[in-house]
Structures are given as C-alpha cells and as structure tokens.
C-alpha cells in the first residue's frame, strides 16, 4: 500500500508520466470473467487517500503492549541512513524468533441484489489456514535454501540473509491463527453488489468507505500485539460497490502513533480461481496472492510509514505508466502483473506474490540473499548459455522469462527444433528429455510450453520470428510447464543453423540469473 | 493508514541534504490543478499550499552543447531520502548568467538533463506538472519582454519580502 499523503503526486504521475518513465509492459490489464463477458478492472492494493483511523484516545493512553517490531537505519545510496520500523527483532542482532498472534476474521457479505447472494469468508478460512501464509514449505533463492518455513518468514530471511550479524536462526512467524466469529454484513443498497461469474458463482464489490466503517467497528475486539486478518471470499472493494470502480484486493493499515501501542490489521480477499483471467498460473490474482501481498507489506511497513519513517527514495512503480512510490511497500512494485509463484502446502498448490526487498529501493543490494532485489528474482534476466558447438557457444543475455514457466531449476540438455508447437501441431522432432525450441506465433505461448512439457521436454526456448529484443508473454492457458526462456530471432536462427550439422547443448539456470535491477528513481517534479 | 499522522511526519523531518537558499520564499505561480507552474530564475520559490513535488535537479544545457546553463532544483525540504531525492515544496532556478551554479557533485541522484530552449524559456514536464523555466539570456530578454516583466515583478515581490499568494498562472 502506498503512502497516502503523496497519492496526489503518484496519481499525477500515473496520468501524465512522460515517455522517460514508460515501461515496456507486455502485460494485460486484469480482467474479471463475468457471466456476461470479460470486464477490465483496475486491480490494486490501495485504500483511497485519507482513509483509515486515527488512534483512539483510550488506547493511546494504554500501556505499550503493542506489536513486536524494531527500528533500524539502512543506508540509501550506500551512505544515507533512512529509518525503518519492521516487524520482528533486528536481524543484525542474530538468532531470534518472533511470533505474532494472528486472528482470521471471516466476513460474510449478504448483497442487496436479487436473491440476496451471499459470499461468506468462512468458506475460505480452512484454505487460508492451510496456505503457505501459515504453513511451512521449502523456499529456495537460487541455490540458497532459505528454510522450511512460512512465506513471510522466508521473505524476511531472504531480505536480510547477508546482513552482518544475521543468523539462520532468525525468524518472524505468524502464530497458529485463531478463528474469529463470522461477522455477517448485510450490505445496504448502493453499498455493494454481487456479480455472476462466467464459471459459476459470484464475486462481490463493496463500497470502500462502507467497508472501512465495518472494520472500524470490529477493531476494538483486537489488541495491538495481534494481527487481525479480515478475510473475504471473493469480495473486493470499489467506490459505491460498483464493478467499474473495482478492485481493491486487500490493504494493510494501522492506527496513528504512538506506534508502541498502535493496532495494525489486514484485509485480504481470497481470490477464487477463475475470477480473474489467467488465474490458473502466474500473472494473476488467485487464492492467497492478495494475502501474501499484504502480509509481506505489513511485515516491512506495519505502521504504513510515519512518523518520519519507512520512506524510501521515490521510485517508479513498474508497469504503471510512471507512478511513483515513496514509502517502503514490498508488494506494490510487483503487483502489476502480479508476479506470482506456486507453492504447495497440505497437498494444495497456492500462489504467492514475489516481493521486492528493501535493497531494491535503497539502490544498494548488499545485504539481501544473492544480492537479489526480489524474493524470488522473478523479474530477473536469465541468460541462455549455449555449451556447444563451439561455433555458437556462449552466454546470450537478450532473453525474457515467462512468469508461468519460471526458470526455478537448472536445465541442461540438447536442443531440438520442433516448429510452431501449438496444440495439435506435429512436432518436427521429439522433444522428450530435451529442450524444445519453438517458434513464436499463432497460439498462446503458454499453450506451446504446456504441449512441450506434456511431450516430455525438460525446457523450452521460444524463438521470436521477427527482429527485436526478447519480450515476455502473458498466460493464455495450460497447466504443465517447464523452465522456459524467450530468445531473439537471431539466437533462434543461430541454433537452427547449427542443428543442421551438429547437436546443440544448452543450459538455462537460475544460478546464472542476473539480479533484478534496483528501482528506477522517480524524476524531479 | 492515517493521513493525519503522515502529514505530521512530513513536518517533523528536519535534516536537509541540500540547503535551501536562506532568502524568504515567494509562492510559485501555479494553476489550481498544479499542472503548470511559472519558475522565474534566481528566486526562492515555494509551491502553493497543498502541493508537494519529488525533489531533484533539472540540468539545462546550452542548445547544441553540453555546457550547463541553468539548474532547476526542487529541494528535499519535506522528506530527505538522500542524494537530493525525497519530497519538497521549495525550489530555485539557478542561472549561470546571474549566480553560481550548483557544482555537479551536488546534482541529485535522479537528475535529468534537458537542452535549454533558445528563447530562454524552457518547459520541463515533471510528474504531471509543466514547469516553465524562465531563465532568458540577457540579450534574449528584449525579445521576450513579457516573460522578463513577469520575472521582474516576482523579483520585486521577493525584495519586499511579501508572502502573499500570486494569482493563478492560468
């Protein structure tokens, strides 16, 4: 969530960003799959400017029994100290485990539409409990094992992995969540609507200000050392509860100071699969992607900035047309697509958002794992390394990754050219056990990767068929993916030519990935 | 999230990386929506109430040359995030014709370089605001008398130490 006080600046930047800030974004606007047809929405994780409560006086006078956090300076530009409040203990002080009591609060919305459709957050509590937000899974950062732990803990460990004093015994965990009583909200006319989805079921949109009122009435039930997570089942926020103003998918918030006793909380929608286009894999909003976004941001900016703290050098938010951000929010720079990755807990595949590390903002990646700027390095450039024949051997860096088929494990093998590679096409060669080189075109790239993986390919190279830099592609169907890269027409042609006379052996590996570049500074004005 | 708290936070920031000229500031002439602001040279300017800007330097170079002719600096007087970045509402257009330019070593990390318009009036579009940088060469002044008159008026207001808000620019 971005800092509210500067929203006017950020909004202006969105509307009027100059060409210098334009992003190359081969990424579609989120689409909601309504029964009447797909509808574009603007998905975000922000509250409108100026919303949120002030510290209630009674609590301000209470003893400090607040959230467990620390304050420390980290250097921007390598030398300028900026202060940050972050949940947990100071990782430079070594091993420690902080466990924050969490409460899942299901919100049950009864909408005023015909038949009074109901979307009950109670239905997604079990799925949320069983998700990587609370359950442990193994997290790797390249070849570094960040541990078998929760998503948020793995994120924090990766963020400070190389900080002097950091210990592998450092943890920031959410406690086993207690489940609050279901809160039933009968939405008044004009404050919300339910919309039928093409795949069945509904999504809901509730007026943002009205929703805030609902939460404010619930806050006295929780203490400052807890993290209440207000959970909805496919219910999002938008002015007047209208789809055209949708969708805020979640936010984290805080009372004003004194922060020693300020309450913090999260709202996150559980995004039912099929609600947003592409929600089966990568680049979309599905299951606990909104909650992962908010938990990560809450961990790193629990009080949403102030006083005079958690500010970062103003940075351009990628893929937003030039909007800038001024406070330390880990999720916002990667929410547009969003960049997500799968993780299995309790035999169920969930999706989590990649997050930027603090060094991404500080222009100094000295203390994060591998020197990476994001948790999973999903936006990193992975080179194609051709091992043989010598005539074309080398590392080719003009490549692009595919979010739905990330290069998360090393792949080395012989390359075979299979042709266009759309479903139903006859392959020119058998890709089983090899890396399939496939021409771009005609059908979705994700379907090509799916088909090749189904045929036994261990990796895929998508060769462009026109000159130009490598570009990425959005998800367009399929479910079986292997590590894949998009390569330029020039590289593709070189491989095809070499294949005429000899085998071509290549490697695509996360171990060769170049770190995601740091944030682009917001220009003056 | 609390807007009120954040506002106080901005006010509490004290240490500045780039010192703001000590002279009393004149309120910049901007339109109501902050999409255009007139920036005369050699005057310490403050944005109208309610407006803030991303700090940093706009380096103007002589037309068809890399020689720096002027520097438009937005100070990080509200939030200092280092290397001349942050948030501010104070600004100054330094002109080589009339004053010493800030040394390059002080340029902000997000500095941008643009060529100066031969007329001496250069538009810089920064985050949605068109800053009309009015730093005419002395010999150009006669040909763009209106702009210079405006500059002179602003300079006169500054010399009087007046803080009253100017009329909107458009």
- pLDDT at position B43 is 92
Which of A4, A18, A314 minimises the CB distance to B54? A314
DSSP code, position A129: H
Q: Residue A89: its pLDDT value, please?
A: 97
CA A501 to chain centre: 44
Strand, helix or coil for residue A299: helix
Interface membership of B151 toward A (CB under 8 Å): no
Pick the CATH number of A384-512 from 3.40.50.620, 3.50.30.30, 3.40.50.150, 3.40.1790.10: 3.50.30.30
The pLDDT mean for chain B works out to 74
For the segment A148-192, what is each residue's pLDDT rounded down to a tens digit? Answer: 999 999 999 999 999 999 999 999 999 999 999 999 999 999 999
- Identify any residues that bridge with A325 across adjacent strands, giving them in sequence order: A315
| Rounded Cα–Cα distance for residues A34 and A202 (Å) | 8
Please report the beta strands in A30-101, taking only residues with DSSP state E, as ranges in sequence order.
31-34, 37-40, 69-76, 80-87, 96-100
The answer to which of A24-38, A132-146, A398-412, A416-430 has the lowest mean pLDDT is A24-38
Asked whether the predicted pLDDT for residue A391 surpasses 60, the reply is yes
Identify which has the larger pLDDT, B168 or A349: A349
Residue B13 pLDDT greater than 60, yes or no = no
pLDDT at position B156: 39
- Chain A residue whose CA is closest to B80: A313
Asked whether the beta carbons of A331 and A346 are under 8 A apart, the reply is no
pLDDT band at A468 (very low <50, low <70, confident <90, very high): confident
- Which B residues 77-96 touch A at CB under 8 Å? 79, 81-83, 85-87
CA distance A221 to A216: 10
Give the list of residues 6+ apart from residue A209 with CB closer than 8 angstroms, or none.
Answer: A48, A51, A239
CB pair distance less than 8 Å for B12 and A308: yes
- Domain for residue B131, yes or no? yes
When CB atoms are compared, the residue of B7, B74, B82 closest to A5 is B7
- Rounded mean pLDDT of B31-36? 93
Confidence tier at A61 by pLDDT (50, 70, 90): very low
Query: Domain coordinates of chain A in residue numbers?
Result: 4-371, 384-512
pLDDT(A511) > 90: no
- Strand A96-100 relative to strand A170-174: parallel, antiparallel, unpaired? parallel
Question: Which one of A6, A53, A254 has the shortest CB-CB distance to B87?
Answer: A6
Q: What is the pLDDT of residue A157?
A: 98
| Parallel, antiparallel or unpaired: strands A192-196 and A202-206 | antiparallel
Q: What is the pLDDT of residue A53?
A: 45
Q: Touching check for B35 and chain A: CB below 8 Å?
A: yes
Q: Which chain A residues have a beta carbon less than 8 Å from that of B87?
A: 6, 9, 314, 326
pLDDT of residue B153: 41
* Cβ-Cβ contacts under 8 Å for A130 (sequence gap 6 or more): A345, A346, A348
A20 vs B contacts (CB less than 8 Å) = 112
Write down the pLDDT at residue A242.
97
Average confidence score pLDDT of chain A: 88
Q: Does A461 touch chain B (CB under 8 A)?
A: no
Mean pLDDT throughout A111-119? Answer: 97
pLDDT at residue B11 greater than cutoff 70: no
pLDDT of residue A4: 35
Q: What is the pLDDT of residue A42?
A: 79
At residue A144, does pLDDT exceed 60?
Answer: yes
Contact A6 B129 (CB under 8 A): no
Task: Return the DSSP state at A424.
Answer: T
Q: Which of B10, B51, B110 lies closest to A523 in CB terms? A: B110
- Region A403-430: mean pLDDT is 93
pLDDT for res A413: 96
B166, part of any domain: no
Tokens of A436: 């399939």
Instruction: Kindly indicate the confidence band of residue A49, based on its pLDDT and cuts at 50, 70 and 90.
Output: low
* CA atoms of A324 and A322, how far apart (whole Å): 6
Q: Which of A139-153, A451-465, B131-145 has the lowest mean pLDDT?
A: B131-145
Task: Please give the pLDDT value at position A233.
Answer: 98
Chain B residues with CB under 8 Å of A301 CB are none
Strand-pairing partners, residue A348, are A345
The whole-number pLDDT of residue A320 equals 81
Q: Specify which residues B133 forms β-bridges with.
A: B39, B122
Between residues B138 and A220, the one the model is more confident about: A220
Q: Please give the average per-residue pLDDT across B117-146, as a whole number.
A: 76
**A311 contact residues in B (CB cutoff 8 A):** 79, 81, 86
Q: Which among B99, B30, B44, B106 is positioned nearest to B70, based on CA atoms?
A: B99
Instruction: For residue B64, count other CB atoms closer than 10 A to its CB.
Output: 8
Residue B111: give the domain boundaries. Answer: 3-159
Average pLDDT over residues A260-286: 84
pLDDT (0 to 100) of residue A40: 80
Greater confidence, A269 or A6?
A269
Q: Is the pLDDT of residue A316 over 80?
A: yes
Residue A234 touches partner B, C-beta closer than 8 Å? no
A127 pLDDT higher than 60: yes
What are the tens digits of pLDDT across the range A368-387? 999 899 998 887 788 999 99
pLDDT of residue B152 exceeding 70, the answer is no
B100-124 residue pLDDT tens: 899 999 999 999 999 999 998 999 9
Between A517 and A497, the more confident residue is: A497
Counting the structural domains of chain B, the total is 1
pLDDT at A466 over 70: yes
| Mutate which: B5, B47, B125, vs A, most A CBs within 10 A | B5
Q: What's the rounded Cα separation, in Å, for the pair B62 and A188?
A: 63
Residue B163 is predicted with a pLDDT of 27
CA distances from A198 to A324, A334, B3 (A): 35, 28, 39
- Asked if pLDDT for residue A469 goes beyond 50, the answer is yes
Query: What pairs with residue B134 in β-bridges?
Result: B40, B121
Res. A517 pLDDT band, cuts 50 70 90: confident
Q: CA B136 to CA B120: how far, in whole Å?
A: 4
Question: A225 pLDDT exceeds 80?
Answer: yes
Mean pLDDT, residues A208-237: 97
- Rounded Cα–Cα distance for residues A445 and A473 (Å): 7
Is 50 exceeded by the pLDDT of residue B166?
no
Residues forming beta bridges with residue A118, ordered by sequence position: A110
Of A4-13, A304-313, B5-14, B152-161, the least confident? B5-14
**How high is the pLDDT of residue B122?**
96
What tokens were used for A504? Answer: 């071509």
Structure tokens belonging to residue B46? 């403050």
Q: Note the pLDDT of residue A408.
A: 81
B132 and B121 in contact (C-beta within 8 Å)? Answer: yes
A220 CB-near residues (< 8 Å, 6+ apart): none
Chain A interface includes B74 (CB < 8 A): yes
Contact criterion met (CB below 8 Å) for B21 and B92: yes
Q: Which of B12, B54, B125 is closest, CB to CB, to A18?
A: B125
DSSP assignment of A238-263: -GGG-GGG--B-EEEEE--S-GGG--
Q: Tell whether B169 is covered by a domain.
A: no
Q: Residue A421 and residue A426: Cα distance in Å, rounded?
A: 7
Q: What is the mean pLDDT of residues A466-491?
A: 89
């Amino acid at each position: 969530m971005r800092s509210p006080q500067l929203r006017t600046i950020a909004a202006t930047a969105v509307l009027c960003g100059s060409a210098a800030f334009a992003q190359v974004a081969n990424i579609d606007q989120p689409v909601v799959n309504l029964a009447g047809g797909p509808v574009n929405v603007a998905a975000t994780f922000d509250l409108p400017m100026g919303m949120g409560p002030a510290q209630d006086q009674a609590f301000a006078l209470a003893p400090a029994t607040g959230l467990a956090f620390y304050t420390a300076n980290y250097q921007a530009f390598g030398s300028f100290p900026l202060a940050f409040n972050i949940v947990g203990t100071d990782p430079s002080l070594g091993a420690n485990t902080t466990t924050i009591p969490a409460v899942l609060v299901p919100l049950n919305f009864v909408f005023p539409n015909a038949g009074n459709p109901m979307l009950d957050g109670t239905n997604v509590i079990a799925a949320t409990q069983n998700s990587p937000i609370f359950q442990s899974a193994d997290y790797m950062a390249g070849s570094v094992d960040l541990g078998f732990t929760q998503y948020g803990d793995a994120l924090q460990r990766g963020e400070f992995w190389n900080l002097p004093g950091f210990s592998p015994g450092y943890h920031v965990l959410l406690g086993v969540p207690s489940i609050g009583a279901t809160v039933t909200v009968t939405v008044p006319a004009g404050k919300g609507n339910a919309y039928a989805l093409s795949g069945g079921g509904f999504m809901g949109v509730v007026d943002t200000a009205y929703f805030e009122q609902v939460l404010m009435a619930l806050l006295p039930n929780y203490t400052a050392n807890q993290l209440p997570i207000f959970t909805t089942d496919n219910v999002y926020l938008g002015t007047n509860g209208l789809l055209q103003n949708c969708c805020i998918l979640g936010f984290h918030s805080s009372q004003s100071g004194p922060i020693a006793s300020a309450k913090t909380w999260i709202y996150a929608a559980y995004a039912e699969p099929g609600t947003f286009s592409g929600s089966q894999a990568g680049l979309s909003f599905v299951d606990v992607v909104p909650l992962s976004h908010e938990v990560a941001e809450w961990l790193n900016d629990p009080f949403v900035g102030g006083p005079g703290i958690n500010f970062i050098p103003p940075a351009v938010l990628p893929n937003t047309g030039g909007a800038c951000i001024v406070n330390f929010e880990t999720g916002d720079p990667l929410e547009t697509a969003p960049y997500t990755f799968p993780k299995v807990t309790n035999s169920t595949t969930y999706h989590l958002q990649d997050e930027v590390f603090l060094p991404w903002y500080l222009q100094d990646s000295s203390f994060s794992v591998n020197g990476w700027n994001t948790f999973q390095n999903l936006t990193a450039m992975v080179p194609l390394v051709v091992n043989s024949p010598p005539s074309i051997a080398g590392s080719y860096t003009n490549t692009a990754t595919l979010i739905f088929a990330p290069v998360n494990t090393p792949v080395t093998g012989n390359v075979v050219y299979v042709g266009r590679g759309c479903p139903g096409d006859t392959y020119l060669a058998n890709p089983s056990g090899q890396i399939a080189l496939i021409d771009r075109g005609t059908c979705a790239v994700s379907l090509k990767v799916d088909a090749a993986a189904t045929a036994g390919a261990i990796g895929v190279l998508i060769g462009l068929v026109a000159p130009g830099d490598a570009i990425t592609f959005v998800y367009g169907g399929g479910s079986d993916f292997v590590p894949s890269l998009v390569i330029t027409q020039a590289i593709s042609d070189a491989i095809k030519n070499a294949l005429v006379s000899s085998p071509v052996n290549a490697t695509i590996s996360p171990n060769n990935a170049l770190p995601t570049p740091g944030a682009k500074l917001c220009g003056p004005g | 999230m609390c807007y009120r708290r954040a506002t106080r936070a901005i006010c509490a920031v004290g240490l500045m990386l780039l010192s703001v000229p000590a002279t009393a500031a004149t309120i910049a002439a901007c339109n109501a929506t902050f999409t255009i602001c007139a920036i005369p040279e050699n005057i310490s300017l403050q944005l109208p109430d309610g407006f803030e800007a991303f700090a940093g330097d706009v380096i103007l170079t002589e037309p068809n040359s890399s020689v720096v002719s002027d520097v438009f600096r937005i100070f990080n007087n509200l939030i200092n995030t280092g290397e001349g970045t942050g948030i501010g509402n104070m600004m100054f257009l330094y002109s080589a014709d009339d004053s010493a330019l800030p040394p390059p070593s002080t340029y902000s990390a997000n500095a941008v370089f643009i060529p100066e318009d031969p007329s001496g009036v250069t538009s810089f579009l920064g985050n949605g605001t068109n800053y009309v940088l009015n730093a005419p060469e002395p010999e150009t002044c006669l040909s763009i008398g209106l702009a210079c008159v405006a500059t002179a008026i602003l300079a006169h207001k500054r010399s009087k130490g007046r803080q009253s808000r100017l009329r909107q620019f458009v």
